[in-house]
């Protein structure tokens, strides 16, 4: 029995020694920063490299940081370097073109504007649709680091769509929503990052005997685009022979 007890004690000794050698976690300190220029959420995302945690308040431009005493000086220095006038939020104008591709030159939307000729050429080289029509245009002004949303009911359904299943009635409208979670400008000054982008349209489709049903079409994506360039950022099927394309243009306002 004594031999068994002695063996158990020998096995337990390394575990006890290991626990005794494990250092206690370093106590953490908290500090509140009120930013003048930088976006609190953007700064918060950078603080993870220090092993810190932080909570933000966008309205008060506040950043509450929790870190060890050894980490805090480096965090204070980083925030001082980031919170400078050049980091002040800027306005970004986003233009969202909702384009329908199909076989007919009539139906949902209207003729494509001259400004989208290059986009139509790009689409025709990549897809088999013969014609493209502009369903709606939405313009959204957003501040960097903030959410924004706009809604339009300006899209219409034209008559005489040549057998298209899209409802043929001028009384029916297409409701389109365009929203983003945040937008930011890249370090090169020309690339615009759009996070949490969503464009959705509620369009009427014929169901037979003069009846119709509304269907929801949506595109969700995170996008990097060059300022001033019109970019096709997504496609979603409408019917067997039609598709909805989202074309985006972004400009930074100085």
Instruction: Please spell the DSSP secondary structure of 143-202, one letter per residue.
Output: ETTS-EEEEEEEEEB-S--TT-SB---TT-EEEEEEEESEEEE-TTSSEEEEEEEEEEEE
Q: What domains lie within the chain, and their CATH numbers?
A: 2-87 (3.30.1370.120), 91-253 (no CATH)
Angstrom distance (rounded) from CA 110 to CA 136: 9
CA 128 → CA 27, 135, 167, 234, 245, distances in Å? 64, 19, 23, 16, 13
Question: Region 41-45: what's the mean pLDDT?
Answer: 87
pLDDT band, residue 18 (cuts 50/70/90): low
The pLDDT, as a whole number, for residue 103 is 80
Question: Region 153-158: what's the mean pLDDT?
Answer: 54
Dihedral of alpha carbons 125, 241, 202, 152, sign: positive
The pLDDT, as a whole number, for residue 6 is 45
Question: Region 68-90: what's the mean pLDDT?
Answer: 87
The pLDDT, as a whole number, for residue 164 is 38
Check: CB of residue 200 under 8 Å from CB of residue 149: no
pLDDT band, residue 3 (cuts 50/70/90): low
Half-sphere exposure of 67 (CA within 13 A, CB side): 23
Higher pLDDT, 156 or 29: 29
Q: What is the pLDDT of residues 183-227, one digit of tens each?
A: 888 878 889 999 999 998 887 776 666 677 778 888 899 999 999
């Amino acid at each position: 029995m004594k031999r068994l007890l002695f063996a158990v004690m020998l096995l337990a000794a390394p575990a006890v020694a290991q626990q005794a050698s494990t250092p206690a976690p370093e106590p953490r300190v908290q500090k509140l920063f009120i930013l003048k220029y930088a976006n609190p959420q953007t700064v918060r995302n950078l603080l993870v490299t220090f092993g810190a945690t932080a909570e933000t308040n966008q309205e008060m431009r506040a950043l509450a940081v929790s870190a060890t005493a050894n980490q805090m000086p480096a965090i204070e220095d980083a925030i001082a370097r980031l919170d400078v006038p050049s980091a002040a939020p800027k306005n970004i104008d986003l233009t969202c073109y909702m384009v329908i591709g199909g076989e007919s030159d009539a139906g949902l939307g209207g003729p494509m504007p001259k400004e989208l000729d290059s986009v139509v050429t790009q689409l025709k080289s990549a897809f088999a649709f013969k014609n493209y029509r502009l369903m709606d245009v939405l313009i959204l002004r957003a501040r960097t680091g903030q959410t924004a949303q706009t809604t339009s009911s300006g899209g219409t359904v034209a008559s005489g769509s040549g057998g298209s299943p899209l409802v043929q009635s001028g009384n029916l409208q297409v409701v389109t929503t365009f929203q983003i979670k945040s937008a930011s400008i890249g370090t090169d000054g020309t690339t615009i990052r759009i996070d949490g982008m969503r464009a959705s349209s509620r369009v009427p489709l014929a169901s037979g005997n003069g009846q119709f049903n509304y269907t929801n079409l949506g595109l969700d994506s995170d996008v990097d685009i060059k300022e001033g360039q019109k970019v096709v950022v997504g496609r979603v099927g409408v019917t067997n022979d039609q598709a909805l394309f989202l074309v985006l243009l972004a400009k930074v306002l100085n």
